[in-house]
Structure formats: C-alpha cells, structure tokens
C-alpha cells in the first residue's frame, strides 16, 4: 500500500467478489465498536441502494474495533444472500489493525472506492442512505460541484437530536466562526457525497485523523477549485454512540485550531479539478489482496 495514503496496513475482507470497477456509487461506513448498530444499517443499505444507483458497492472500514463488529457484519452479510445476485454482495471490509480515528477510517474508505461518487455516512444510520437521492440529483446536474454535504441546519432539514448535542454543536459553530472555518452551516454532518476524482485526491492529501477531518475535506475541495453544495436531510439521533459532546467537542476545537494554523502557514497544493472531466483513475499503489470466496462465505486476507 502506498505510504502517501497513510493507511496503516489494513486487511481486507470480501463477501463474494468485489463490485465491478468503477461503480456509480460507493457507500463508505467508518466503524468503531459498532457491533450493536451496524446490522440494521447494513440491511438498510443492501435493500435501498439499488433504488438510487445502477451499480454500487459498500465499503465498511473497521477502525480497530475491540468488540465483535466484524463478526456481526459477517453474519448479516450471509443472511442477506437472498438479496444478492448469484450469492454475491458488493460488500468490502477494510480493517485497521489499531484504532486511528474517524478521519483515518474515512480516508481509508475514500482511497479504496472505485466509484463515480462516494457517499460517507455514519454506522448508526442517523441519516439514512435514502437521503442520498437528492444529493445525487444535485451532484449529477452540477458539473463543478465536487462535494454535496447533508445539513441539519438549512431549509428542508428534519432533525431529532438531544439537547446536549445541540448545545455542543452551537458552541463548536461559534469556535469555527472565530477561527474563520465556518465553511458551511453544518460542517460536521456525517453524510457527505464526494465526486470520484476529488475523493481520491483527498485520500492522498488528508492528514487529520480525528473528528475535524470534515473541515480539512472542505478546505481541500475549495483548494481544488470545486464548489460545495449543502442540502437539508432528515437526521434522527441514535443512542449508543462513541461520541461525547464535551470531551470530543474539546478535542475537535483543538484539532480545528491546529488545522487553521497549518493551512495559514503551509497549505497543501492541490490540482485544479474544476476544469477536468470526472476521471476513472485507479488508486496509486498496490491494493489490498482480494480473495473471492463462494456464495455465502466471507474471506479474510492480509
């Protein structure tokens, strides 16, 4: 694996054979201790994606979970075999040997995606994949839009959230205004659609492993000369998450401050993607080894 991708020797797992490359839509789901929540989300993905994309794949990135997240994924994948074609589901699993952070997991998923569009969504399904329809429609009709972000704060949003998280979000937005990083009305919504060429460049250029990775991705999109669109989505709070509004809010503030200073003094260079057609380039470097088992099997390779 190319060192430029900053992926710590992930291992790959497949249910059936990999999806054809490139596909129209890849859905990337970062996971950490999600054994209790990933099952329903995976079922929803497999049942819903054919409505929105002619070809698709699911990339689950396990960020060194100490629980049985991978075991649950294997069991659910086998139970969904009746929804597959010839017993094959386009589900890929990439695992970090150790916990790196959500930003690192998202970057790994973007690096492995071979798709015209890559959707990043949370494992808790707080924003269901059904919300991808309007995002895709806008992206397809806007050639210079590189990233479409779901939002819990613009017209059309329908949000059910606990008061503690709403307060933490308001405080963090104030911090972003102070830092000059209020790039969107809702920078931290975990439901974002990336154009394929942009997602691969972000995978190479990104360095933020923590929760402030969203800000870095927005900055890199602007540096590439592409527009960012924002659409309201339905978002329902789900219990059982790993995020602490106070503890992680402080970490995000520190990370955002560091990001602002780095971009002030040493902003990364990016190719101008605003004038080029959507490319179907392969990822640089040797991909993780692929093993294609028979129907109903999940393989593991290093």
pLDDT at position 242 is 59
pLDDT at position 216 is 96
pLDDT at position 1 is 35
Mean pLDDT, residues 151-155 taken together? 90
Domain ranges of the chain: 3-301
Cα 53 to Cα 44, 149, 195: the distances in Å are: 15, 18, 14
pLDDT at position 265 is 78
Does residue 14 have a pLDDT over 60?
no
- In degrees and rounded to multiples of 5, residue 111 shows phi and psi of -70, -35
More confident residue, 33 or 276: 33
pLDDT at position 124 is 93
CA distance 302 to 288: 7
Specify the residue for token string 């994924």: 73
Does residue 289 have a pLDDT over 50?
no
CA distance 55 to 170: 38
| Cross-strand partners of 88 | 85
Q: How far apart are the first and last CA of the chain?
A: 12
Tell me the pLDDT tens digit for each residue of 233-267: 998 977 655 566 666 678 888 888 999 998 987 77
Angle at 288 between CA 301 and CA 219, to 5 degrees: 135
Cβ pair 116, 193 in contact under 8 A: no
pLDDT at position 91 is 92
More confident residue, 170 or 104: 104
pLDDT at position 245 is 60
Cα 249 to Cα 132, 175, 187, 219, 289: the distances in Å are: 27, 10, 14, 20, 37
pLDDT at position 253 is 87
* C-alpha 297, offset from chain centre: 26
Q: Is 88 helix (H, G, I), strand (E, B) or coil?
A: strand
**Against a cut of 0.85, is the pTM above it?**
no
Q: How would residue 210 be classed by pLDDT, with cut points 50, 70 and 90?
A: confident
Dihedral angle of Cα 188, 191, 196, 199, to the nearest 10 degrees? 30
Mean pLDDT, residues 103-124 taken together? 96
Cα 131 to Cα 117, 233, 273: the distances in Å are: 15, 6, 26
Cβ pair 226, 195 in contact under 8 A: yes
- Show the tokens assigned to 157: 């949003």
H/E run at residue 299:
strand 298-301
Nearest to 194 by CA among 46, 20, 26: 26
pLDDT at position 238 is 72
CA distance 259 to 281: 29
CATH 2.40.30.70 fits 3-301, yes or no: no
Q: How would residue 169 be classed by pLDDT, with cut points 50, 70 and 90?
A: low
pLDDT at position 296 is 32
Average pLDDT, the chain: 81
Cβ pair 125, 44 in contact under 8 A: yes
CA distance 234 to 266: 37
């Amino acid at each position: 694996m190319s060192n430029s991708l900053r992926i710590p020797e992930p291992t790959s797992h497949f249910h059936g054979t990999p999806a054809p490359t490139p596909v129209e839509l890849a859905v990337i789901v970062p996971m950490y201790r999600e054994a209790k929540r990933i099952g329903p989300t995976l079922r929803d993905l497999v049942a819903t994606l054919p409505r929105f994309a002619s070809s698709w794949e699911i990339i689950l990135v396990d960020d060194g979970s100490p629980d049985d997240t991978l075991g649950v994924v294997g069991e659910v994948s086998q139970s969904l075999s009746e929804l597959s074609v010839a017993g094959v589901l386009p589900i890929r699993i990439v695992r970090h040997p150790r916990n790196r952070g959500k930003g690192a997991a998202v970057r790994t998923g973007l690096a492995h995606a071979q798709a015209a569009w890559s959707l990043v969504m949370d494992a808790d399904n707080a924003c269901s994949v059904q919300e991808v329809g309007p995002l895709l429609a806008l992206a397809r009709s806007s050639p210079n839009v590189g990233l479409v972000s779901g939002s819990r704060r613009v017209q059309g949003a329908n949000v059910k959230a606990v008061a503690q998280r709403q307060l933490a979000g308001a405080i963090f937005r104030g911090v972003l205004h102070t830092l000059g990083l209020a790039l969107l009305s809702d920078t931290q919504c975990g439901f974002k659609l990336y154009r394929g060429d942009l997602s691969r460049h972000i995978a190479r250029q990104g360095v933020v492993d923590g929760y402030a990775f969203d800000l870095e991705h927005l900055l890199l999109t602007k540096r590439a000369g592409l527009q960012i669109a924002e659409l309201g989505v339905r978002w329902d709070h789900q219990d059982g998450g790993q995020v602490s509004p106070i503890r992680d809010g402080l970490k995000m503030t520190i990370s955002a401050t560091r990001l602002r200073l780095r971009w002030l003094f040493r902003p990364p260079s990016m190719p101008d993607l605003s004038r080029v057609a959507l490319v179907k380039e392969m990822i640089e470097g040797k991909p993780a080894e692929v093993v294609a088992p028979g129907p109903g099997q999940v393989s593991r390779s290093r």
